[in-house]
Amino acid sequence: MTHVGFVGLGNIGRPMAQRLAMAGDPAIGDVVVFDVVPEAVAALEADGAIAAASVTELAARVEVVCVMVRDDAQVRAVLDDVLAAGRPLTVVVHSTVAPETPAALAEHAAPRGVLVVDAPVSGGAMGAADGRLAIMVGGDEAGFAAARPVLDVLGGKVLHAGPIGAGTRFKLARNLMHFVAFTAATEAQRLAEATGIDLRALGDVVRYTDAITGGPGAIMHRETAAPIAPDDFWFPIMDAVRILGEKDLGYAVELAHEHGVEVPLAELALQRLGSGLGVGG
């Protein structure tokens, strides 16, 4: 049975900690929580968690400390407070930090017998509430094994991405696509609005069809981003995507120009779709 500490009870941290406190999983013992906002701690106490007066007090009572705070500086401060407890344990950093931060944290903690893994999450508050997060983990086998019972309660997909820092690089690549897609969505909304299309209806259709096709992830099946040889299995598939995409993007960009709507991402996509897919243009 693993006793777990959770530091940072914000928008995603709170449902994650709540999930641990209420899961009833036999692998999870006490769930001890800390946050600088007393009301957040009190809410978790009502769900069965144990309140700690400080991070150091929390670290003295658990084997695994999960950290979901705002930024790199807060993560470093939490780790220092954990180290002050003077116990060997495992720190799981769920916060999305700079690429070099996880390795620096692990190096700082190692002389004190503390393992660090970076385990950023994807899936938002909804995924956190029902244990369906995707969790991308970087760290050695010992750290991953220590964290695994906790991660299995929190996530529907737990991936050991590689050594320390790999989880963070994984998350940054995933979120690059996420927020570029959001920006593309704003272009589509402007085009729809300029041409008299209901924006809410457009959003409903996008969510409906992406749930069927997989959205951008539908093209992500290859093991390399290198150009595709003409005799490769994937060439005709990706070339068909290119042909359809260039046609539709061309029409969309033309329509946008007719209505005075700026769509720089769409124009760039039209230029780069074929080479990005690996089939040229």
> Which pLDDT tens digit goes with each residue over 88-101?
999 999 999 999 99
Do 176 and 155 share a structural domain?
no
**Residue 281: pLDDT over 90:** no
Give me the DSSP letters along the chain.
-EEEEEE--STTHHHHHHHHHHS--TTEEEEEEE-SSHHHHHHHHHTT-EE-SSHHHHHTT-SEEEE--SSHHHHHHHHHHHHTT----EEEE-S---TTHHHHHHHHHGGGT-EEEE--EESHHHHHHTT-EEEEEES-HHHHHHHHHHHHHHEEEEEEEESTTHHHHHHHHHHHHHHHHHHHHHHHHHHHHHTT--HHHHHHHHHHHHHHH-GGGGG---S--SPPPTTSTHHHHHHHHHHHHHHHHHHHHHHHHHTT---HHHHHHHHHHHHHHTS--
Do 245 and 119 share a structural domain?
no
156: domain range? 2-164
pLDDT interval class at 104 (50, 70, 90): very high
Do 193 and 152 share a structural domain?
no
Do 155 and 28 share a structural domain?
yes
Do 256 and 182 share a structural domain?
yes
Do 175 and 150 share a structural domain?
no
% of the chain exceeding 90 in pLDDT? 99
Number of structural domains found in the chain: 2
Do 145 and 114 share a structural domain?
yes
Q: How far apart are CA 44 and CA 159, in angstroms?
A: 27
What is the pLDDT at residue 23?
86
Is there a catalytic annotation at residue 157? no
Do 35 and 107 share a structural domain?
yes
Q: Which of 171, 256, 273, 277 is catalytic?
A: 171
pLDDT interval class at 193 (50, 70, 90): very high
Do 104 and 19 share a structural domain?
yes
Do 11 and 139 share a structural domain?
yes
Final residue of a structural domain among 113, 135, 164: 164
Final residue of a structural domain among 140, 164, 188: 164
Can you give the pTM of this predicted structure? 0.93
What's the rounded mean pLDDT across residues 19-48? 96
Do 196 and 95 share a structural domain?
no
Quickly count: other Cβ atoms within 10 Å of residue 269's Cβ. Answer: 19
Q: In this structure, what CATH number is given to the domain that contains residue 132?
A: 3.40.50.720
What's the rounded mean pLDDT across residues 194-215? 97
Do 146 and 30 share a structural domain?
yes
Q: How far apart are CA 6 and CA 19, in angstroms?
A: 11
> Which pLDDT tens digit goes with each residue over 54-86?
999 999 999 999 999 999 999 999 999 999 999
Final residue of a structural domain among 149, 164, 179: 164
Q: In this structure, what CATH number is given to the domain that contains residue 242?
A: 1.10.1040.10
> Which pLDDT tens digit goes with each residue over 117-170?
999 999 999 999 999 999 999 999 999 999 999 999 999 999 999 999 999 999
